[in-house]
Amino acid sequence: MAKETCIFCKIVRGEIAAEFVYKDEQMVVFHDLYPKAKHHFLVVPTVHVETFLDLQDNHFPLLTNMIKVVQHLIKDKKLHGAYRIVINGGRHQEVPHLHLHLLGD
């Protein structure tokens, strides 16, 4: 999918409204529209990378920052007791733009 038509790229560009829980130059975080847990956040890089398998060496600093943001969210939202971090791929990845799911009780 081209970044011009990607739903997450449109959210990043402000073409589709989303209430951000977190935002910086490298990523945005917002609530999943179809939550699978009491707390379900999507951690989405601002750069369009389609899948986990498309990550290149130059993306690893971005991944490190994504993990740091997830750690912050777990602490800030008090999800210490139970949380999951998920990366979907293949037919399980509904939006072809790399993202993390943070799910917690």
- The pTM assigned to this predicted structure is 0.94
Q: Give the catalytic positions in this structure.
A: 99
Residue 99 parent element (H or E): none
Overall number of domains in the chain: 1
Q: Give domain status of residue 68, yes or no.
A: yes
Q: Give domain status of residue 80, yes or no.
A: yes
Q: Which domain holds residue 52?
A: 7-104
> Count of alpha carbons within 13 Å of 33, Cβ hemisphere only?
8
**Radius of gyration in angstroms for the set of CA atoms belonging to the chain, rounded to a whole number:** 13
Which tens digit of pLDDT belongs to each residue from 14-65?
999 999 999 999 999 999 999 999 999 999 999 999 999 999 999 999 999 9
Place of tokens 């990550």: 55
Provide the percentage of residues in the chain whose pLDDT is more than 90. 93
On average, the pLDDT of the chain sits at 96
d(CA 29, CA 38): 16
CATH of the domain at 28: 3.30.428.10
Q: Give domain status of residue 2, yes or no.
A: no
d(CA 54, CA 77): 30
Q: Is the pLDDT of residue 1 over 80?
A: no
d(CA 80, CA 93): 26
